[in-house]
Amino acid sequence: MPSRLRQCVLSALLLSLLLFLSSLWLPQGTVQSCEQSWRPCLSVYTPSRQVAPAAVPEELGGNYIIGECSGQQFQVSRLLLHLSSALGPASDVLLDPYLLCWEELIKFMEALGPLVGFFTHKVEEKITLIRQLSLEESARLNATADESVAPPPPHAYRSVRSMLEAELQKGVVSFDTQTPSGSRTLLRLHRSLLWLQLLLERLGTEREGRSLGELCRDAYLEVLAPHHPWLVQRAAELVFHTMPDRSAFLQLVCVRTQEEAEPVMRVVVAAIREIHRRTQKELEIRNMLDLP
């Protein structure tokens, strides 16, 4: 068998294995179809308007503009816009822009190679589940509200804080068994966000040495591997070996050199870090950091 054909067959078999393993990884329960979900699924989601260049908020350390990068799906400007919008009042995190952040981060991960779909597949499931739960909660409130007496109460899934508190009060969060709650699902996204935070931070600060795959692997081993079974960890190792070199990252953030990438990543990482810090606090005060 020619070497090129053998390589293609091996890659196809590896991808099939990863998808199979990911279907066994941390099941989240039944999710709705694209037609029933709160927003269109990621694969068909198109923003209703073109995102303008993102001005970097002063509190995140920026004083310049990040523009659109033509010819690619992932946009740093759009990610930063969603990150800034997710920073709600009173140190809360707004869920809708938070999930939009993840949709943009999925595009970033998918641009690193087809096998990274091993991770993005599970993230998409979690996004869909939280939106499904939000839709169900909205329908319940509308069905029980008597608008002639009073307007319906605020939506429980508007923010991280309100969702966690509402699910605790309703008793849908289990501290002993796996349940398809928004709180448990958010915790998994929260861990993955720290993985990406560490990866982007190191990509923005380390000018030479380790490859993109090595940086991904090190961040994974530090944050996610302790929560994954052995088979998933071995599959993740294979994924990291297939990643492109660091020049692909520079193209994704629309810069030519590592020096140009550093200020962009500094701002993005600062925003991700603040969202992670706020979410960590809300989970911690409710003893939700170790939900099964």
Per domain, the residue ranges of the chain are 73-143+154-285
Model pLDDT, residue 108: 93
Q: CATH homologous superfamily of domain 73-143+154-285? A: Glycolipid transfer protein (1.10.3520.10)
As a whole number, mean pLDDT of residues 112-121 equals 78
DSSP readout, 8-32? Answer: HHHHHHHHHHHHHHHHHSS------
Helix (H), strand (E), coil (C) string for 109-167: HHCCCHHHHHHHHHHHHHHHHHHHHHHHHHHHHHHHCCCCCCCCCCCCCCEHHHHHHHH
As a whole number, mean pLDDT of residues 158-177 equals 94
What's the pTM value of the predicted model, to 2 decimals?
0.77
Tens-place pLDDT, residues 222-254: 999 999 999 889 988 888 888 888 888 888 888
Between 165-169, 208-212, 222-226, the lowest mean confidence (pLDDT) is in 208-212
Model pLDDT, residue 30: 36
Q: Is 211 left (phi over 0), alpha (psi -120 to 50) or beta?
A: beta
Share of the chain residues as helix, strand and coil, in percent rounded to the nearest 5 = 65, 5, 35
Tens-place pLDDT, residues 94-110: 999 999 999 999 999 99
pLDDT tier at 284, thresholds 50, 70, 90? very high
Model pLDDT, residue 89: 93
